[in-house]
């Protein structure tokens, strides 16, 4: 009888050891599983701009810059979600006012495309600069990587205005260490085949051309955002 009790005790002890070992294994995998789940989450990019971002005049939202950009990035293997935060007619002042709710918590990166309406209205470039500086400072305080899309002034305001306005974007990008795409409408502006009848807003094909040209800069933004996310998950 005593021999049987000793055998049972040994068996019970062995079971406890096995259970504890299993618990240790499971606890050891919690960290990697969580990190894996975090990595699997789509990277959230907010396209923050005016009518050029929102898709003014296009046949459907699927032709807009954010929608076409998301499709192109996914085709290149990026797990991303690109939100359309474009408002037609918005100036840099309007963008600044709505920044907090247009760029929600959980945003991983932002493409800032504002300034075209400032130039069309002849707003003092100093005002444009100040508004963009505040937008950039707010996003940087939230540790959100930024791609700044440059804009150029129409020639009707004169060379002095154009020089001052056009310089705002590259100077801000350099001063703040931003990823910079020099001119949002590069390859599209003044091309009748890629613009709507108003001559200012791109067609769906025009937007596709913009996306194609901007992809390298956006992929650089994605790399920064992933690095930022990885650093945040470790802290």
Considering only CA atoms, which of 54, 49, 43, 42 is closest in space to residue 148? 49
Residue with tokens 């606890």: 27
Measured distance CA(172)–CA(132) in Å, rounded: 8
Measured distance CA(214)–CA(149) in Å, rounded: 9
Residues with catalytic function: 51, 198, 201
Measured distance CA(71)–CA(88) in Å, rounded: 22
Rg (CA), the chain: 26
Helices (H), 41-91: 51-54, 65-75
Measured distance CA(12)–CA(73) in Å, rounded: 56
Greatest Cα pair distance in the chain: 107
């Amino acid at each position: 009888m005593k021999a049987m009790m000793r055998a049972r005790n040994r068996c019970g002890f062995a079971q406890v050891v096995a259970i504890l070992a299993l618990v240790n294994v499971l606890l050891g995998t919690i960290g990697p599983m969580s990190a894996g789940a975090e990595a699997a989450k789509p990277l959230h990019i907010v396209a923050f701009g005016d009518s050029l971002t929102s898709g003014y005049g296009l046949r459907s939202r699927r032709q807009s810059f954010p929608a076409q950009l998301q499709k192109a990035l996914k085709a290149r293997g990026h797990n991303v979600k690109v939100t359309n935060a474009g408002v037609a007619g918005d100036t840099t002042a309007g963008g600044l006012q709505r920044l907090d709710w247009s760029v929600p918590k959980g945003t991983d990166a932002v493409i800032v495309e504002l300034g075209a309406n400032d130039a069309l209205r002849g707003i003092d470039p100093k005002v444009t600069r100040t508004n963009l500086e505040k937008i950039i400072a707010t996003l940087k305080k939230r540790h959100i990587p930024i791609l700044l899309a440059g804009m150029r002034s129409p020639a009707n305001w004169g060379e002095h205005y154009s020089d001052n306005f056009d310089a705002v974007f590259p100077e801000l990008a350099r001063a703040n260490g931003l990823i910079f795409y020099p001119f949002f409408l590069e390859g599209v502006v003044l091309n009748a085949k890629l613009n709507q009848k108003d001559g200012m807003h791109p067609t769906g094909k025009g937007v596709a051309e913009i996306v194609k040209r901007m992809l390298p800069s956006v992929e650089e933004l994605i790399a920064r955002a992933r690095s930022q996310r990885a650093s945040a998950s470790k802290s």
